[in-house]
Structure 1
Amino acid sequence: MLTRKQHELLVFIDQHLRQTGFSPSFEEMKEALNLRSKSGIHRLITALEERGFLRRRAHRARALEVVRLPENVGKTPTAPATAAPASLGSPLGSPVGSNVIRANFNSAPAANAAAAAAAAVVQLPLYGRIAAGLPIEAMRDAGASVEVPAALLTGGDHYALEVSGDSMIEAGILDSDTVIIRRSDTAENGAIVVALIDDNEVTLKRLRRKGNSLALEPANVRYETRIFGPDRVKVQGTLVGLLRRY
């Protein structure tokens, strides 16, 4: 049996993994469950681990794996017809009764498949910190790679790139983040791209088409938008994901 909060947390983690390919941070989980402290999240995760619903993957930041889901996942938790005796109490000190739901301890194949897909990882080539003066291929270290959740990747070739600077912070991209780039020489208007300028400067910016010109927009009011003729800018890939270590 799971308490209501345990159920809510498990469903939130599962949905976050499906949508992003990586587990949510403790802060995101705290806000989603409207809890006052992260210690409550830690206790809930520990309880879910003990019941076999969650697994922590060692030596990886923010790495939670959903092993199985309650049988009524996706539905609003409801009280069981018969409340458990008051003397039983929940492991976390929560009352057992109206806020307890029953879980299906027989792992469903679909849930197992979803958990396996979320846990799958691939190795991508890791380029150095993006900097002026080097085309993207010249930045590659043949021996460097990064482990990336497979769910982050779409069709095509991908590579990882370490971000330098704060020009994209308002888009949630911080200095030292690792961005996942899908290799492409075209991009939709408004996409965040890796752009090669004049064949020697590489930058990560939002691409805007303005008439016959191309604008590379930062996501930081301290930086100015740069506008170029179409023959001066070559798209080298589009942003599809981001990794961050805490």
Structure 2
Amino acid sequence: MLTRKQHQLLTFINERLNATGVAPSFDEMKEALGLKSKSGIHRLITGLEERGFIRRLAHRARALEVLRLPGDTGVGSEQSQGAAFSPKVIEGGRDSSPIVAPSEMTKAPAPGEAAGGSEIEVPLLGKIAAGTPIEALRDPTRHIGVPP
């Protein structure tokens, strides 16, 4: 989908390329669309290029190529040749057997409860505030219990 200005610019570029074989300059495009600055033309051309309507050739002045117009589906595409679209779908079968057998399932430990009944005490080394990095001061008086 193109904006009105993008459509006007694409039409102007295409007509100029067909008439003279040379793309118009940014000043000519600016005057044709009634814009006040060339930066607006640059944004429109970038948008047309991102949407695949034109191609810019690097390191060449006025090097624009119209790839397609808004009503076109592209040169040489299957749809423009009349072939109907038919997606290729892979049929997937899923068996009803569970991935894990119920006999292999175990109950997860409750929060604060270790799987083996014991916890490992890990020393709390300190707190660091968000922001500028500072050295963490050790506080070996506090410990946190974590499951093994």
TM-score (norm 1): 0.30
Higher Rg of the two aligned structures: 2
Which one has the bigger strand percentage?
1
